[in-house]
């Protein structure tokens, strides 16, 4: 579901944003959304992200030993 928000940014940044959006042929809102998503992934990864690996586990271990009590 999409949600409407309103932001106020410095004029020079707004000009650069519009210029970049035109160059990429994307709506300004999409460019802003992509930038925010990238920032959030770097600083606040989604809790539901699943970490995968091609490695295999050997031995016995329990969920409690691995993750502790939650």
**Predicted confidence band of residue 37 (pLDDT cuts 50, 70, 90):** very high
Locate the domains of the chain by residue range.
11-67
CA atoms within 13 A on the CB side of 18: 6
Mean pLDDT of the chain: 87
**Predicted confidence band of residue 70 (pLDDT cuts 50, 70, 90):** low
Place of tokens 């992934």: 41
**Predicted confidence band of residue 68 (pLDDT cuts 50, 70, 90):** confident
Structure-model confidence comparison of residues 15 and 57, the more confident one: 15
Cβ atoms of 60 and 53 closer than 8 Å = no
CA distance 9 to 7: 6
Examine the pLDDT at 49 and tell me if it is beyond 90. Answer: no
Gyration radius of the chain over CA positions: 20
Examine the pLDDT at 36 and tell me if it is beyond 90. Answer: yes
């Amino acid at each position: 579901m999409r949600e409407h928000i309103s932001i106020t940014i410095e004029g020079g940044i707004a000009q650069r944003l519009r210029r970049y959006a035109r160059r990429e042929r994307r709506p300004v809102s999409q460019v802003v959304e992509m930038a925010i998503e990238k920032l959030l992934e770097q600083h606040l990864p989604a809790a539901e992200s699943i970490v995968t690996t091609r490695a295999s586990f050997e031995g016995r271990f329990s969920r409690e030993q691995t993750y502790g009590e939650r």
